[in-house]
Amino acid sequence: MNIFKTAILMALLTGIMVAAGNFVGGSTGAFVMLVISLGINFFSYWFSDTMVLKMYNAQEVSANDAPQLYNLVAQLANKAELPMPRVCIIESEVPNAFATGRNPDHAAVAVTTGIMRVLDYNELSGVLGHELAHVKHRDILIGTIAAAMAGVISMIGSIVQWGAILGTRDNDDNGGIIGTLAMIIVAPLAASIIQMAISRSREYDADKTGAEICGNPIYLANALQKIESFTLNAPPIEHASTATAHMFIINPFDGTEKFLKGLFSTHPDTEDRIAKLRQQASDMHLLN
């Protein structure tokens, strides 16, 4: 169901982007925006992993540097039938983790020193299983494309806004003032809502598959509870950016930006995620 929902949301996002391009410059504008979007997607697809790892100063480690972490990732990757990803550590007391990379053959899993301190071995396996599920589902590619499309739509909205302010656009063109307001306000807002909905949908699937990879949904449920408790009572992870918030297992800004809920949240409600995991554990007869 979540895969079908993601496909529908991506189609809606594409439709908004093409409509926005058409509004600005007719069929030529739509084509230009499509080319720009493809260019952004290409750049993000090939270089976003390097950029985000550098942003958080994530250091790659080997089996000699962090044997317990490295071996746990290796065991889980083998169980998930995935190539061994790069393993990285971020120096931060804030517990969190994310996966990045353009495909399973070029993936990286990053965890903070805080998450290794706060979680026990089983809970950490749940988190790593979740991140490997993102790799397995190619969610990184989906998230990158969705973010790029939303960014293009917002850019078009800004162009239209400045055109209206400077008087370079005739309000009678393409729907008049109503069409202009739709491009300035409605289209970027709708794109943002759809992007967030895609992100939330992929989190549910990663929870389910991650629980299967680690072997027990309760491991991940307990980990999510601990991470959120810390997040709600501490500053966000160092160098955190709202542009990369969707990548983490729990939004690092949940404790400081409480208005990012519902439609505008990158992640489902943690209590709901935990409830689904507990139901999954019950179905697997593992709830004791």
- Evaluate whether residue 118 is within a structural domain: yes
Residue 33 scores a pLDDT above 80: no
- Evaluate whether residue 114 is within a structural domain: yes
Q: Are 217 and 277 in contact (CB under 8 A)?
A: yes
Residue 66 scores a pLDDT above 90: yes
- Please tell me the predicted confidence (pLDDT) of residue 1: 44
- Evaluate whether residue 272 is within a structural domain: yes
- Evaluate whether residue 170 is within a structural domain: yes
Residue 79 scores a pLDDT above 70: yes
- Evaluate whether residue 228 is within a structural domain: yes
- Evaluate whether residue 288 is within a structural domain: no
If pLDDT is split at 50, 70 and 90, which confidence band does 251 have?
confident
- Evaluate whether residue 250 is within a structural domain: yes
When pLDDT is averaged across residues 101-129 and rounded to a whole number, the result is 94
pTM, two decimals, is: 0.76
CA gap 212, 272 in Å, rounded: 18
Count of structural domains, the chain: 1
- Please tell me the predicted confidence (pLDDT) of residue 165: 55
When pLDDT is averaged across residues 274-278 and rounded to a whole number, the result is 95
Give the catalytic positions in this structure: 131
Query: Domain containing 84: what range?
Result: 2-283
